Amino acid sequence: MVEPQRSGQAGPPCWRGAGALEADASGRPGPPGESSVEELARWLAAAGDEAARRGRPLLASWVTPLPPQEPLVLFQRARPLGFRFLWRERWGPEGETRLTLVGGGVVQRVDGEGDGRFRAVAAAWREVAQQAWVAGPQVPATGPLLFGGFAFDPPAVPGPRPGVDEGARAGSAPRPLGPWDPALWEGFPPALMVVPQLLVTGWGERFWLSVNTWVAPQAEIQPLAEGLARQVDGLLGDGAPPAQAAPPAPSHEMQILPQDPGPWMEAVAQAARAVREGQVAKVVLARPQGVRLPDRVTAERVLAALREEHPQATLFALDLGPAVFLGATPEHIAQVSEGWVESMALAGSAPRGGTPEADERLGEELLASPKNREEHQVVVEAVRAALAPLTVHLEVAPEPRLLKLPTIQHLFTPVRGRLAPGATLLDVVARMHPTPAVGGSPKEAALALIRRLEGWDRGWYAGPIGWLDGAGNGAFAVALRSGLLRGGQAALFAGCGIMGASQPEEEYREWQVKLRPMLAALEEASR
């Protein structure tokens, strides 16, 4: 596992809000009382000199330590920057280190279309990272870092997709306001990864600020420094949350929009029949749920509730302006650290029990369930097959264990391997997505069945979301237990793995269980 380490140079500056800095980016002490503008100007001047030497603009990054920060306060303060994100995960085989990322602003946007979106992002990132010039300590997940995500199943050609958008309009699926609307995912392209202008990274209680910007050989340094200093001061403030007006009195309470489960349960029956007939080994069918929200619900309030109730989950939020996609997912696609990749097989579910005895009984039944063990083994073999060509050594736990979350428990098998030379995290993501846990097996046959039976566009739900730094370290999670907040409404998402023995009524109950984390967070945010 990568542990954040300082470089061998003397310590870099420590930003203390709007106050003075202690040293410059190379470690040399600055003049007493030197302002943040002056400090940034000296760093930018050095970057300009390097750009002139190279004869082209360069992506300059300055990394400096910070006192401990409150991530939700930072996320709130990042709103004026436009694009903003929050990420919190447990890092390492046993989740022993907490990694926090909060970023805002856009220095570089990297995107792609269709099935080639992973390759396009990887190629663009290699070009950008090679141009980066970083001053300050060498710490994983700092500097010019990419954050963003990918759609679950984007169309090869942008526009309405037969059987999804057109099918919904034709009435082949129920149409409550919001979740089935083709405009639900407006603004979320097939792939979007961004280098933020400002990034705060926390490893446990140690925090760093990264300031990223493009610098041209003949750039005007002073106005650039002044603008960056204002943005940093706005993000860090003085440690107190920004003042907020009291929310208006709500005109309504939270309302779960009614939806007929009949069409989805019929789709489950058709999917189970397809499994029994040998068309697929497994397929995952998902279903959205619309919720009307009171005015007082904000992304920050929802994230606070998710953080409190799901401390072991990976918390994420991506704000693209008109909508915020957020959630607390239990499933990682992969983590990469110093050439080692860690992944998991997560499939097979049961509710938590109301007493320790009932909880233990439900866990034992899950471990002994033929349907759930078969579903889980499909995922294990798919993860093994995806990682084997990209690794020189691969370890798969011989038996699944239980992953217990507040409202649900899953069968869980850890996987670890050494990446082959030249293999990257995005290579892993491209081969593994969609995992059988969210798509099915075989992959293409399952996707074809999903397109035919679901009748809606998943957008970024169940797609990869995560980060990648310039050294190849990073992590991507599956965007599960998630929701999209847009215009006073939320669309929540959950899916179920369908096998030949699946019963529609049981799968519907499981779908309801999987919605509980997001529904509970919305209820808490509505109080």
H and E: helices and strands count for the chain: 12, 23
Lowest mean pLDDT among 26-30, 303-307, 409-413, 418-422: 26-30
Q: Which residue has the higher pLDDT, 23 or 491?
A: 491
Mean pLDDT of 66-81: 96
Mean pLDDT of 380-395: 93
Whole-number pLDDT of residue 217: 93
- Tell me the sheet residues that pair with 75: none
Would the pLDDT of 277 be above 70? yes
Whole-number pLDDT of residue 118: 94
Q: How many beta carbons lie within 10 A of that of residue 399, not counting itself?
A: 8
Whole-number pLDDT of residue 401: 93
Would the pLDDT of 242 be above 60? no
8 Å CB contact between 62 and 136: yes
Of 38, 39, 331, 507, which is the active-site residue? Answer: 331
Q: How many beta carbons lie within 10 A of that of residue 321, not counting itself?
A: 9
Place of tokens 């084997």: 388
Whole-number pLDDT of residue 472: 92
Whole-number pLDDT of residue 247: 53
**Residue 439 neighbours by CB under 8 Å, 6+ apart:** 283, 284, 433, 446, 447, 450, 462
**Residue 358 neighbours by CB under 8 Å, 6+ apart:** none
Would the pLDDT of 12 be above 70? no
Cα dist from 342 to 157, 200, 417, 429, 483, whole Å: 33, 24, 7, 12, 26
Whole-number pLDDT of residue 31: 38
Please give the Cα distance from 264 to 255 (Å, whole number).
21
8 Å CB contact between 347 and 514: no
Mean pLDDT of 324-351: 92
Exposure letters 199-238 (e unless 16+ CB within 10 A, then b): bbbbbeeebbbbbbbbbeeebebeebbeebbebbbbbbee
Q: Do strands 58-66 and 132-135 pair parallel, antiparallel, or not at all (unpaired)?
A: parallel
- Catalogue the E-assigned strands of 255-407: 255-256, 282-292, 314-319, 323-329, 332-337, 340-351, 391-396, 401-404
Whole-number pLDDT of residue 165: 34
* 331 has catalytic annotation: yes
Would the pLDDT of 177 be above 60? no
- Catalogue the E-assigned strands of 27-159: 58-66, 84-91, 97-104, 108-111, 132-135, 146-150
Would the pLDDT of 415 be above 70? yes
Of 22, 34, 89, 282, which is the active-site residue? Answer: 282
Please give the Cα distance from 411 to 430 (Å, whole number).
24
Please give the mean pLDDT across all residues of the chain. Answer: 85
**Residue 503 neighbours by CB under 8 Å, 6+ apart:** 272
Whole-number pLDDT of residue 162: 35
Lowest mean pLDDT among 88-92, 166-170, 180-184, 424-428: 166-170
pLDDT digits over 472-496, tens only?
A: 999 999 999 999 999 889 999 999 9
pLDDT digits over 134-153, tens only?
A: 999 999 999 999 999 999 99
Cα dist from 260 to 86, 182, 491, whole Å: 34, 19, 16
Query: pTM of the entire structure?
Result: 0.85
Closest listed residue to residue 492, CA positions, set 521, 465, 527, 451: 521
Side chain identity at 5, as an amino acid letter?
Q
What percent of the chain has a predicted confidence (pLDDT) above 70?
A: 84
Domains in the chain with CATH codes: 1-69+101-147+195-237 (no CATH), 155-189+257-525 (3.60.120.10)
Cα dist from 171 to 166, 176, 455, whole Å: 9, 11, 9
Whole-number pLDDT of residue 183: 80
Q: Do strands 191-195 and 474-478 pair parallel, antiparallel, or not at all (unpaired)?
A: unpaired
Mean pLDDT of 349-360: 92
Whole-number pLDDT of residue 407: 81
Would the pLDDT of 518 be above 90? yes
pLDDT digits over 98-120, tens only?
A: 899 999 999 999 999 888 899 99
Whole-number pLDDT of residue 378: 85
- Catalogue the E-assigned strands of 361-516: 391-396, 401-404, 408-419, 440-441, 464-468, 474-478, 482-486, 489-498
- Tell me the sheet residues that pair with 294: none
Geometric angle at alpha carbon 35, from 30 and 100, rounded to 5° = 90
Would the pLDDT of 431 be above 80? yes
Mean pLDDT of 221-241: 86
* 374 has catalytic annotation: no
> What confidence tier does 28 reach under pLDDT thresholds 50, 70, 90?
very low
- Tell me the sheet residues that pair with 404: 409
Would the pLDDT of 394 be above 60? yes
Q: What is the dihedral of CA 434, 439, 440, 444, to 10 degrees?
A: -70
pLDDT digits over 492-511, tens only?
A: 999 999 999 999 999 999 99
What's the Rg (C-alpha) of the chain? Answer: 24
> What confidence tier does 243 reach under pLDDT thresholds 50, 70, 90?
low
Please give the Cα distance from 208 to 527 (Å, whole number).
34
Q: Which residue has the higher pLDDT, 17 or 312?
A: 312
* N- to C-terminal Cα separation, the chain: 40
Whole-number pLDDT of residue 241: 52
